[in-house]
Structures are given as C-alpha cells and as structure tokens.
Amino acid sequence: MASSTSFPALDDSLSVLTRGYGFGARIWRRARPGARSAPMRLLGDDTLFVRGAEGVRAFYDDDLVARHGAMPGLVQETLFGHGSVHSLDGDDHRHRKATFVDVAYEDHQVARLTPLLEREWQAELDAWLAGGRRSAYDAAVGAFGRASMRWAGLPGTAAAKTRWARRLAQIVDGFGVPYSPEYLLAFGNRMWSDRHAADLIAAVRAGELDAEQGTALEQWAWHRDRAGHLLPPRLAGIELQNSIRPMIAVARFVAFAAKELHDHPDWRMRIADETAERGSVVDGPLATAFAQEVRRTAPFVPMLPGRAIADIEVDGERVSEGGRIVLDILGTDTDDRSWPHAGRFDPARFVGVEDYEALEAFIPHGGAGVTTGHRCPGEKLAIAGLASAIATLSDPRVTILDRGLDVDRRRLPTKPSSGGRVRAVGAPSRCPFPFH
C-alpha cells in the first residue's frame, strides 16, 4: 500500500545524541495530542516513532518488523557483540533464545541466584558499616558481578570477578557515547571480554574446565545452532556474556533506586521494616514494587529501533517496507494513557501485581513474550537483584547522601552523577581536614 504519511525533510538522528532521554518528548510535541505514532526521519530513512500498547504490538510483530540491521553498528558491536541473539530474527532467533530462556528465565534459575545476592549484599552492607565509601552503583557492580558469575558457573576469585564486572559495566557505560573516549575504552573492554569468554568456552570443550550442568557456562559451551553445529568459541562467549552483563547493567537502576529512596523516606522506612520482619533482603513484596517503579520511570535506553519488512500502520500513520520503526520505551513506560498519574513516582501501583508481563505498556526490558518474542529472559533476575539492593539500601544503619543525585538526561545511558553515595549513619560525609 502507498504511504500517505508526510515525513519531515530534516533528519532527527543528531537529536538522539544532543537530547538523549528528551528526544521522544521533542518528537511527540510536533505530533497531534495523544498520538500513538509520529513520522520522523532517522539515518536518512522514513521512520515511525511509536508508543503505548499499540506501538508495542506493532514493534514486536515479527511479520512486520526485523531486528537484523536495525541497531546502529556502533551500538550492536560494542554492547551486544557481533552475531549475538539481539541481531537475529525468525527461527534462528527463537532457537538461540530458547537457550537463554533455559539459562535465565526459569524459576529454578532465579532461585539459584537469590542466595548469592543475599550473601553479596550482606558483604556490601558490612563494608559500609565498617566505613566503606563505595557508591550504591559501584557496590551493585561488584555484588551483581560476583553473584551472577558464580551463578553462571564461571571460575575465578571474588576479586577477579569484580574486575571483570567493572569491565562489563564500563562497556554498558560507554556504548552510547561514540563521541567520547569512554566509547574507545568500552570497545577495548569488549575485545578483552570476548577473548576471555572465548577462552572459557574453549577450556570447557577441551575438558580443561568443569562446567556445572545447567549453568550458563555449560549451556553456551555446548549450544548448537539449527544446523547442529557448535557456535564458534567467540560467539558462544559473547552469548555467555549476554547472560551475565544485563545483570551487571542493573547497577544503573540501583543508582536511581538510591535517589528515589532518598527522595521518598516513607517508602525507605516501610521497606526497612519489611526486611527486618522477613529477615532477608530478597523477595520482599514492597522492595519488589519499589524496584518495578524504578524500572518504569528510569528505563535503561529511551528507545529501540526496528526495520519494517512490510508496510506498517499505527494510529493512522504509515511507513512502507524498508523504512524504520522506533519504539519509544520511555514514552510508553510513562504514557499518560497507559498509567494513572504517569509522572508520579508511586511504587504502590505495583503492590500485588504478580504478572507484570501482562502489562503491555510496561517494557523496561522489552515487550511481548519472553519465549516467542524479544523480551529479555533475564528480567526476573534483574527484578530480584534490584529488589535486594533496595532492601539493603533501606537499612536504617546507612544513609544516602543528597549530593550528586542530579541526572544528565542527555547522556545515554545515564544515572545519578554520584551513583548514590552511601555512608554509615553517624560517619562523617566529608574529610574534616579540607587541605589534607
């Protein structure tokens, strides 16, 4: 069908870099009020910018949209790795995705991770109480890195796991700033991590390293493609990283959680009481509801791109086959038509909500189905990790400082500038000898 939509002459690509998380709001200001789709131009192509449940349904329809070639190479190669599941479509995507589901989505895999989270966050709390000065973000990188690597069956000391976790965290931090030296550092860390992960895969296949059955290390070492061939060690290593790096990326949500706990002391007190009553920092219902609201209001990326493989119409606007479609993640998670009082931070909206996947407009880890679509299979792990961090940060023996909680919404990805400074209650917040 011929498109009747009028696309702007000027390209909006540069605005992604200059406006960051404010990009979507700019596009919607030039659309009609309440629109679910808006025409734009991205990288020279006619593009539909979509939001809400209608936009989610169109974006995740495999008969309409493909992922292959849609993600800019600077992002794909650095963040996800060359040839990863994120670039696949159709049967190839479903086949490889099934291993991710086995590795990360099943409840028994979540149950394997939670005691490791409990242990690591107790260690971080003890460090703060002993005078430690790590930010919430830095503590989360270490805690999530050590817990997820043990969960994945990876060898190495706690210190070695922490060092690798910092490399993976820096990849996440630098992938979205190709104009910055941080991107070059991320590229270097990606090369190092790919070599290290490939060596682990090769060691398992050679019988030099034991891999516990059912762990990510074992699953990716022996994963076979649809033709029955083992993945090349480098690609298997990339998917091994894609099983643990998203958990480390949750540290960015932890920084936002620190800010929101500081700004909502009533919720911090309620979660502290819940944690004390339960005697555990994992699986607390209030901490989990708080985690969900953090994910809703502070998404990791503001948007996701796709390529139209058929003519697409959303809310009266059309893009022809070969054009682009971009899903407004932030605009969907904070959409006034999808969420009551969408601009208000209110964890109560998630209290008692068990099936969050049924909320079409809740897509901080992607939308549609986990097993059949592109929704992240590690979402349950991410929620468990974030909730455990929130429970730990709510401990009344520590405090969250108010300095450095500002957020640069132009930077992709972003977080509070300090990462959320945490100190033991009563500890001096700064050196009493300023010239020392």
SS3 sequence of 170-228: HHHHHCCCCCCHHHHHHHHHHHHHHHHHHHHHHHHHCCCCCCCCCCHHHHHHCCECCCC
In DSSP terms, 48 is beta-bridged to 39, 325
User: How far is Cα 222 from Cα 206, in angstroms, rounded to an integer?
Assistant: 12
CATH number of the domain to which 65 belongs: 1.10.630.10
pLDDT class of 185 with cuts at 50, 70, 90 = very high
Give the pLDDT confidence score for residue 379 in this predicted structure.
96
Q: Looking at the domain assignment, is residue 149 inside a domain?
A: yes
Q: Looking at the domain assignment, is residue 103 inside a domain?
A: yes
How far apart, in Å, do the first and last CA atoms of the chain sit?
72
Give the pLDDT confidence score for residue 95 in this predicted structure.
92
Q: Classify residue 20 by its DSSP letter.
A: G
Q: Looking at the domain assignment, is residue 295 inside a domain?
A: yes
Residues with Cβ < 8 Å from 422, sequence gap 6 or more?
Answer: 128, 134, 135, 136, 139, 258, 393, 398, 399, 400, 401
Is 429 or 282 the better-scoring residue by pLDDT? 282
User: How far is Cα 102 from Cα 216, in angstroms, rounded to an integer?
Assistant: 9
Over the stretch 321-332, which tens digit does the pLDDT of each residue have? Answer: 999 999 999 999
**Whole-prediction pTM value?**
0.94
User: How far is Cα 304 from Cα 70, in angstroms, rounded to an integer?
Assistant: 9
Mean pLDDT, residues 284-289 taken together = 98
Is 20 or 75 the better-scoring residue by pLDDT? 20
**21 and 414 in contact (C-beta within 8 Å)?**
yes
Tokens 């070599």 belong to 195
Quote the domain boundaries for residue 303.
Answer: 13-424
User: How far is Cα 176 from Cα 173, in angstroms, rounded to an integer?
Assistant: 7
Q: Looking at the domain assignment, is residue 434 inside a domain?
A: no
Assess whether pLDDT exceeds 70 at residue 429: no
Over the stretch 189-234, which tens digit does the pLDDT of each residue have? Answer: 999 999 999 999 999 999 999 999 999 999 999 999 999 999 999 9
Q: Looking at the domain assignment, is residue 2 inside a domain?
A: no
pLDDT class of 4 with cuts at 50, 70, 90 = low
Mean pLDDT, residues 74-97 taken together = 80
Over the stretch 128-169, which tens digit does the pLDDT of each residue have? Answer: 999 999 999 999 999 999 999 999 999 999 999 999 999 999
**330 and 26 in contact (C-beta within 8 Å)?**
no
Give the pLDDT confidence score for residue 431 in this predicted structure.
55
Residues with Cβ < 8 Å from 237, sequence gap 6 or more?
Answer: 194, 196, 197, 198, 199, 200, 201, 220
Task: Work out how many domains the chain is built from and give that number.
Answer: 1
Residues with Cβ < 8 Å from 79, sequence gap 6 or more?
Answer: 171, 172, 175
CA distances 37 to 42, 49, 147, 319, Å, are: 15, 5, 41, 10
Give the pLDDT confidence score for residue 178 in this predicted structure.
81
User: How far is Cα 146 from Cα 162, in angstroms, rounded to an integer?
Assistant: 6
Mean pLDDT, residues 295-302 taken together = 91
Q: Looking at the domain assignment, is residue 213 inside a domain?
A: yes
From 90-94, 216-220, 301-305, 331-335, the region with the lowest mean pLDDT? 90-94
Q: Looking at the domain assignment, is residue 41 inside a domain?
A: yes
Assess whether pLDDT exceeds 50 at residue 2: no
Q: Looking at the domain assignment, is residue 243 inside a domain?
A: yes
Give the pLDDT confidence score for residue 1 in this predicted structure.
40
Assess whether pLDDT exceeds 50 at residue 435: no
